[in-house]
């Protein structure tokens, strides 16, 4: 009763005050915008109605490196953003990139998003998003600047490790649960970098030219899935598209994102991605951050009032050169973000560095590791009767959570591969370490210190000789190499210069293979690499950048506690010229990059050209085996409103439990425009005990058959199609034809 009277008084006093000019109204007890029981949209409109144009403009640009203003007069809070896609960045000073030196902001580093994509498991993506969202929530952040879903167009892109691979369907299906998980904490996911940011060379200025087929069929689907999945924020990319910077690109932002897709969230610029006030005002940008930086360095002490969406925008408004409708739309979106996040009274508490988060990191990492080769069942390692295990390689000890650009983290602890192996083996065998090669000696990034001294006095020759000598005496050799987060490896702002492994690792691997045939090569990397030694090495494992629990997750696989079930989210090419963008000379050069390969990216190109990959998209072995049989369809023809149910039986024919990713590809047998031989359209990850069979079903719908016709839009042409059921894009276990009438 009392509550009702109070609310009535609140509403009455609110309506009286509104009658005498809402602008003079201040925060009112019981005002609609301040009432958490009110719907978000009512709160947004009420708050908007009380704001001055100065307050609205202040919402639209940064006030510090990672925050933008709220409305102090009305008690509406600021917006705080944080990197990154793999963990919560350490706190920085007001206008600095370097960490602020807090002692309470270490985080859990989750595996890189290539590892998440490689799980092909939507549940892992939800677990990931929920866990990282809890850490953002606990750190009182409103916007997580991630995930990234830019397509893996070439193996040289320095930031591929932050993304979800070469296929739009895989990226689209894997990104949505991550977003849902993050946002279940009242933290916005900010999906990036929209769009066509597929290289780091010249990233701030490169002007991408791409045909509409590739734009809609390859580069946009993951972003559209994110929007359809309810993402509250999208980050504009640095590069240009058709001459306009993506942070204020009319076609990408107004026409497609907000027009065709109906996006109701905020478009946030990349840091330093804004270059023009009128374009920023009119072409769909809502929040400007990081102006006058290159995203990594050259932080500037510019007064935030000189941002493009600050005083110069106010000036345009006061002169009547900009519409208040546009201003209100931007402010409305930012207010909506605030009511969805910081003023969301139902958001959970969050948590940081919990055992649950470490367990999640370990589980996701283990599910994401990809067993590329395992001749003679070298893995899992049977410790019985084993005396000496040799671990070789800098990546067995080097911290990988520090460095690589804005995704760099400060972790409470990072379990290295060597540490994990030693802890798990214990006294059951001697574990010996040899450095093998020297890679990157740096031990700090953005003020975060690894505390490691990787200094080495031995020559390359001596390092190899020492490793080879130790290999000759070992029962098994585990080489842990790959790339790292240093410049021109897997790092933001730098593309790789070569496709092969750096630091003479190929030579070392050859020498180790000569010295001991029981050799397993473990790659810690975010990109494919050449493997000239592939025929001489019986076992190869892609372990990715696996975060805080890297070593524990790796040894879970090595010793067989976890049966590998990861599948490649991108093709491993034999040589770089097998990449369409490289072969066609469409890669970095001048100011303009033309995506001349169009839709033929990754396995789409390899299939069309009949090129054999080193390891195909979707490939990954298990310690058990799976058989597929009995593929049937409930009909052989469907119309545009229909569907076809496929079903098949998958059996675990090996001697241990395991999981298999059953992949559905579809090929259009006859089309008016060129189409790939087949394209991934769905997948199922099934867990099967040894000897167990399971019926797996897929529903084929007309939208799976469409392609983007620049003249007609999305089109599904009647005619013959073929469904391919595969354990990878090249390991096709069954096919079945059907017709669209
Ligand atoms: C960087 C990156 C972006 C990051 C932002 C803030 O330059 O491109 O991914 O979130 O700036 O650090």
Tokens of 496: 């790789």
The residues that bridge with 520 in the sheet, in sequence order, are 478, 539
Query: What angle do helix axes 40-50 and 324-340 make, rounded to 10 degrees?
Result: 130
Pocket test for ligand 1, best of 492, 493, 494, 495 (most atoms within 8 A of CB): 492
Q: Atom 5 (ligand 1): residue with closest C-alpha? A: 271
Cα of 221 vs centre of ligand 1, distance in Å, is 22
Q: What angle do CA 660, 662, 664 make, to 5 degrees?
A: 165
Cα of 496 vs centre of ligand 1, distance in Å, is 19
Residue 298's pLDDT is 74
Backbone angles phi, psi at 420, to 5 degrees: -65, -40
Distance of alpha carbon 166 from its chain centroid, rounded?
12
The residues that bridge with 92 in the sheet, in sequence order, are 99
CA–CA separation, 333 vs 44, rounded Å?
Answer: 9
* Ligand 1 nearest-atom number relative to CA 97: 12
Distance of alpha carbon 98 from its chain centroid, rounded?
23
Predicted confidence (pLDDT) per residue in 179-214, tens digit: 999 999 999 999 999 999 999 999 999 999 999 999
Greater model confidence, 294 or 536: 536
Task: Assign residue 426 a region (left: φ > 0; alpha: ψ between -120 and 50; beta: otherwise).
Answer: left
What three-state secondary structure class fits 333? helix
CB 623 within 8 A of CB 560: yes
CB-based pocket (< 6 A), ligand 1: 83, 145, 192, 270-271, 295-296, 406
Backbone angles phi, psi at 129, to 5 degrees: -60, -40
Residues 6+ apart with CB under 8 A from 596: 581, 584, 586
Residues 6+ apart with CB under 8 A from 51: 71, 74, 331
Q: Read out DSSP for 74-85?
A: GTBPPEEEE--T
Residue 589's pLDDT is 66
Backbone angles phi, psi at 474, to 5 degrees: -100, 155
* Ligand 1 nearest-atom number relative to CA 293: 7
* Four-residue CA torsion sign, 469, 559, 509, 516: positive
- Mean per-residue pLDDT, 530-542: 98
CB 88 within 8 A of CB 107: yes
Nearest to 502 by CA among 554, 437, 453: 437
CA–CA separation, 174 vs 502, rounded Å?
Answer: 31
Q: Atom 4 (ligand 1): residue with closest C-alpha? A: 406
Cα of 217 vs centre of ligand 1, distance in Å, is 26
Predicted confidence (pLDDT) per residue in 680-727, tens digit: 999 999 999 999 999 999 999 999 999 999 999 999 999 999 999 999
CB 533 within 8 A of CB 510: yes
* Ligand 1 nearest-atom number relative to CA 192: 9
39 burial via Cβ count (<10 Å: 0-12, 13-18, 19+)? exposed
Question: Is the pLDDT confidence value at 328 over 80?
Answer: yes
CA–CA separation, 198 vs 151, rounded Å?
Answer: 6
**What confidence tier does 16 reach under pLDDT thresholds 50, 70, 90?**
very low
Question: Is the pLDDT confidence value at 299 over 90?
Answer: no
Residue 21's pLDDT is 37
- According to DSSP, residue 342 is labeled T
Cα of 106 vs centre of ligand 1, distance in Å, is 19
Q: Atom 1 (ligand 1): residue with closest C-alpha? A: 295
Q: What angle do CA 624, 625, 631 make, to 5 degrees?
A: 145
Q: Mean pLDDT over all residues of the chain?
A: 95
CA–CA separation, 668 vs 737, rounded Å?
Answer: 10
Q: Atom 9 (ligand 1): residue with closest C-alpha? A: 406
* Ligand 1 nearest-atom number relative to CA 162: 9
Pocket test for ligand 1, best of 64, 81, 83 (most atoms within 8 A of CB): 83
Q: Read out DSSP for 400-457?
A: -SS-SSTT---BS----HHHHHHHHHGGGSEEEEE---------EETTEE--------
Q: Is this structure's pTM higher than 0.85?
A: yes
Q: Please count the CA atoms within 13 angstroms of the CA of 603 that sit on its side-chain side.
A: 27
**What confidence tier does 294 reach under pLDDT thresholds 50, 70, 90?**
confident
* Ligand 1 nearest-atom number relative to CA 66: 6
Percent of the chain with pLDDT over 70: 95
CA–CA separation, 157 vs 240, rounded Å?
Answer: 17
Nearest to 246 by CA among 203, 213, 217, 211: 203
Predicted confidence (pLDDT) per residue in 469-485, tens digit: 999 999 999 999 999 99
Q: Give whole-number Cα distances, 239 to 189, 203, 220, 375, 471, in Å.
A: 21, 5, 15, 44, 48
Residue 707's pLDDT is 98
- According to DSSP, residue 741 is labeled -
* Ligand 1 nearest-atom number relative to CA 406: 12
Q: Atom 12 (ligand 1): residue with closest C-alpha? A: 406
Q: What angle do CA 624, 630, 632 make, to 5 degrees?
A: 135
What three-state secondary structure class fits 575? coil
Question: Is the pLDDT confidence value at 247 over 90?
Answer: yes
Q: Buried (b) or exposed (e) across 359-396, using 16+ Cβ within 10 A?
A: ebbbbbbbbbbbbbbbeeebbbbebeeeeebbbbbbbb
Question: Is the pLDDT confidence value at 542 over 80?
Answer: yes
Percent of the chain with pLDDT over 90: 93
Pairing of strands 626-633, 233-236: unpaired
Map tokens 């900009």 to a residue. 322
CA–CA separation, 296 vs 84, rounded Å?
Answer: 13
The residues that bridge with 521 in the sheet, in sequence order, are 479, 540
Predicted confidence (pLDDT) per residue in 377-406, tens digit: 999 999 998 999 999 999 999 999 999 999
Residues 6+ apart with CB under 8 A from 409: 84, 86, 87, 88, 89, 90, 107, 109, 401, 402, 448
- Mean per-residue pLDDT, 109-135: 98
- Mean per-residue pLDDT, 153-169: 98
CA–CA separation, 602 vs 609, rounded Å?
Answer: 11
CA–CA separation, 532 vs 501, rounded Å?
Answer: 10
Q: Atom 7 (ligand 1): residue with closest C-alpha? A: 295
Residue 730's pLDDT is 98
Query: For residue 380, is the peptide bond before it cis, meaning its omega torsion is within 30 degrees of 0?
Result: yes
The residues that bridge with 539 in the sheet, in sequence order, are 374, 520
What three-state secondary structure class fits 207? strand
- According to DSSP, residue 140 is labeled T
Catalytically active residues are: 270
Cα of 459 vs centre of ligand 1, distance in Å, is 38
Residues 6+ apart with CB under 8 A from 610: none
Distance of alpha carbon 335 from its chain centroid, rounded?
27
Predicted confidence (pLDDT) per residue in 617-633, tens digit: 999 999 999 999 999 99
H or E element: which one contains 734? Answer: strand 732-740
Rounded to a whole number of angstroms, the CA Rg of the chain reads: 27
The CA-based dihedral angle spanning residues 633, 638, 641, 645, taken in that order and rounded to the nearest 10 degrees: 0
Q: Atom 6 (ligand 1): residue with closest C-alpha? A: 271
Cα of 97 vs centre of ligand 1, distance in Å, is 11
> Within a 10 A sphere around the Cβ of 577, how many other Cβ atoms?
12
Cα of 270 vs centre of ligand 1, distance in Å, is 6
Taking 3-state DSSP, the helix, strand and coil percentages for the chain, each rounded to the nearest 5, stand at 30, 20, 45
CB 200 within 8 A of CB 497: no
Predicted confidence (pLDDT) per residue in 17-55, tens digit: 443 334 444 445 679 999 999 999 999 999 999 999 999
Cα of 62 vs centre of ligand 1, distance in Å, is 14
Residue 583's pLDDT is 87
Predicted confidence (pLDDT) per residue in 265-278, tens digit: 999 999 999 999 99
**What confidence tier does 587 reach under pLDDT thresholds 50, 70, 90?**
low
**3-class SS letters over 673-691:** CCCCCCEEEEEEEEEECCC
Nearest to 580 by CA among 153, 33, 70: 153
């Amino acid at each position: 009763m009392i509550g009702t009277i109070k609310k009535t008084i609140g509403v009455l006093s609110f309506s009286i005050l509104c009658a005498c000019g809402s602008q003079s109204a201040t925060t009112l007890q019981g005002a609609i915008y301040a009432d958490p029981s009110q719907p978000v949209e009512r709160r947004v409109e009420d708050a908007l109605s009380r704001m001055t144009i100065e307050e609205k403009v202040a919402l639209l640009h940064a006030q510090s490196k990672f925050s933008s203003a709220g409305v102090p007069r009305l008690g509406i809070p600021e917006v705080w953003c944080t990197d990154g896609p793999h963990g919560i960045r350490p706190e920085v000073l007001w206008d600095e990139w370097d960490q602020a030196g807090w002692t309470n902001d270490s985080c859990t580093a989750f595996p890189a998003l290539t590892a998440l994509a490689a799980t092909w498991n939507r549940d892992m993506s939800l677990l990931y998003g929920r866990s990282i969202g809890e850490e953002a929530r606990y750190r009182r952040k409103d916007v997580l600047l991630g995930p990234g879903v830019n397509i893996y167009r070439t193996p040289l892109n320095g930031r591929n490790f932050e993304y979800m691979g070469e296929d739009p369907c895989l990226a689209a299906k894997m990104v949505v649960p991550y977003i849902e998980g993050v946002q279940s904490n009242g933290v916005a996911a900010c999906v990036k970098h929209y769009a066509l940011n597929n290289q780091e060379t010249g990233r701030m200025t490169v002007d991408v030219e791409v045909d509409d087929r590739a734009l809609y069929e390859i580069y946009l689907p993951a972003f559209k899935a994110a929007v359809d999945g309810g993402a509250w924020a999208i980050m504009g990319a640095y590069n240009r598209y058709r001459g306009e910077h993506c942070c204020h690109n009319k076609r990408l932002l107004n026409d497609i994102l907000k027009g065709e897709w109906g996006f109701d969230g905020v478009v946030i610029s990349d840091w330093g991605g804004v270059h023009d006030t009128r374009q920023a005002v009119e072409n769909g940008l809502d929040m400007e951050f990081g102006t006058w930086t290159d995203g990594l360095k050259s932080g500037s002490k510019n007064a935030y009032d000189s941002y493009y969406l600050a005083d110069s925008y106010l000036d345009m408004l006061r002169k009547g050169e900009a519409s208040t409708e546009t201003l209100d739309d931007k402010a409305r979106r930012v207010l909506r973000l605030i009511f969805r996040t910081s003023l969301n009274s139902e958001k959970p508490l969050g948590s940081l560095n919990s055992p649950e988060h470490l367990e999640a990191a370990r589980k996701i990492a283990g599910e994401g590791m990809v067993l590329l080769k395992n001749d003679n069942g070298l893995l899992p390692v049977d410790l019985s009767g084993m005396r000496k295990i040799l671990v070789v390689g800098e990546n067995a000890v080097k911290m990988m959570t520090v460095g690589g650009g804005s995704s760099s983290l400060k972790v409470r602890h990072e379990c290295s591969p060597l540490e994990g192996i030693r802890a798990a083996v214990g006294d059951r065998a001697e574990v010996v370490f040899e450095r093998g090669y020297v890679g990157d000696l740096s031990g700090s990034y953005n003020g975060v210190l690894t505390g490691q001294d990787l200094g080495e006095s031995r020559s390359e020759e001596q390092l190899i000789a020492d490793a080879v000598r130790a290999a000759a005496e070992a029962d098994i050799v585990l080489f842990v190499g790959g790339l790292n987060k240093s410049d021109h490896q897997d790092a933001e702002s730098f593309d790789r210069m070569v496709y092969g492994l750096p630091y003479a690792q190929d030579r070392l691997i050859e020498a180790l293979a000569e010295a001991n045939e029981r050799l397993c090569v473990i790659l810690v990397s975010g990109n494919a690499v050449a493997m000239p030694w592939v025929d001489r090495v019986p076992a190869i494992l892609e372990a990715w950048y696996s975060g805080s629990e890297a070593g524990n997750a790796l040894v879970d696989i090595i010793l067989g506690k976890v049966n590998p079930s990861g599948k490649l989210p991108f093709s491993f090419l034999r040589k770089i010229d097998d990449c369409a963008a490289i072969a066609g000379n469409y890669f970095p050069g001048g100011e303009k990059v033309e995506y001349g390969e169009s839709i033929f990216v990754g396995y789409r190109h390899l299939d069309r050209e009949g090129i054999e990959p080193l390891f195909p998209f979707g490939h990954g072995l298990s310690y058990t085996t799976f058989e597929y049989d009995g593929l049937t369809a409930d009909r052989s023809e469907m119309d545009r409103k229909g569907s076809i149910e496929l079903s098949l039986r998958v059996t675990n024919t090996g001697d241990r439990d395991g999981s298999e990713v059953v992949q559905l590809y579809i090929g259009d047998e006859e089309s008016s425009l060129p189409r790939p031989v087949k394209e991934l359209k769905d997948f199922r990850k099934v867990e099967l005990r040894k000897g167990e069979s399971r019926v797996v079903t897929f529903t084929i719908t007309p939208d799976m058959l469409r392609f983007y016709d620049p003249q007609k839009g999305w089109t599904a042409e009647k005619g013959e199609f073929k469904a391919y059921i595969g354990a990878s894009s090249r390991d096709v276990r069954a096919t079945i034809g059907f017709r669209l009438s």
